[in-house]
Amino acid sequence: MSSVLSSVKTSGLAASACGAAANDWWFSAVDTSVGARSRLVLSNPTRAVAVVDLALFGYNGPIEPAGARGITVAPFSERTLDLSRFAPGSDALTVNAHASRGSVVAAVLTTKRRRVSAVGSEWLAPSAGPSTSVVINPAPPLEANASRRDGDAPEPSSEGKQRLVLTNTSRREALVHVRVFDASGTFTPTQLADVRIRPGSVVVEDLLPITQGVAAGVRVSSNVPVTGAVTTITSDPAEDFTVSTASAALTDPAVVPLLPDSDLTLLLTTPDPIGGSLRVATFNDVGTRLRNQVVNVKGAAATVWEPPEGRNLAYLVVSVRAGEAITGMASYRSPDGITSVPLRSGIWSITRPAVAPVP
């Protein structure tokens, strides 16, 4: 789903992929500081009551507020929670919504204001669960230039902001190693050579001096499970922000919608030095395939690609053609702002349980 928010109270471009009901949901870089409002939306699409427990992580460790456990969601209903009720005043909160009974679909909507002006909105995509290896492909602060078409990164820019938010969800100290993928290859930034995260805590690192505003992926390795996201803030063409979350590698085809009046860019990375390739099919709004294209993904580097111009384009289907561990992020830019949605393998088949008559 996508939305354009434009009013005195809210503004910006926001998009989110629809997800199936699950037991566990992670959200990184949630903002409950002054001027920001983050709401957790819990939807129960089943016939049974769902019970949800919230776990929250902040700069100083785990947060255990009253009322965060045993939250009930009635069948076929939706419940919205203001997260500032549980952890106010944090600009980098990590939230885990775990269904101890039943299953739910979870989403977080963040809107921001500065004094009387709205300065952006975002549907936060859920992060991949904590892991010792995390990949984030963030949206760049500014629009890439024409070199995107041949897979190169845009020219560096000093404008905008980028923050890497990492969370240690374990009970041991995390020793984190960060590598950055750009168009020229991969490197370890000296600023992030030795990142330590206390148990159950969040750290935030400035990423812009490292990426210089160009399209670049981030790979995080840790001795204990961590999760993370990158927050990108821009004022061109409108003041807005987006949160790019950790995502899993593509295994099955992913569907990428084209939003009205928005430019789409795919940022693709793989740690495999051999690289790989994707098959991208474009479709119109009635499901007719218009074009097939092969996109080569550079090994241990960042590849930037945008769809060809054309009328009636509605969505893309992205499939792995060759290679392993390819991850991607779809970034959208319009006069209303920016947003980003990770490429996630779609659900293409469901195995139903076998039913036999009682003898």
Average pLDDT, the chain: 88
Q: Give residue 348's pLDDT band: very low, low, confident or very high (50, 70, 90).
A: low
Residue 211 φ/ψ, nearest 5 degrees: -85, -20
Q: What pLDDT was estimated at residue 69?
A: 97
Q: Is the pLDDT of residue 120 over 60?
A: yes
Q: Is the pLDDT of residue 157 over 70?
A: no
Q: Residue 157's Cα: distance from chain center in Å?
A: 22
Q: Give residue 97's pLDDT band: very low, low, confident or very high (50, 70, 90).
A: very high
Average pLDDT of span 272-282: 95
Whole-angstrom distance, CA of residue 295 vs CA of residue 304: 10
Q: Is the pLDDT of residue 193 over 50?
A: yes
For residue 156, cis peptide bond before it (omega within 30 degrees of 0): no
Average pLDDT of span 49-70: 97
Number of other residues whose CB lies within 10 A of the CB of residue 300: 17
| Cβ 180 vs Cβ 218: under 8 Å | yes
At 310-329, the pLDDT tens digits run 778 899 999 999 988 999 99
Strand partners, 113: 118
Q: What pLDDT was estimated at residue 342?
A: 94
Q: Is the pLDDT of residue 142 over 90?
A: no
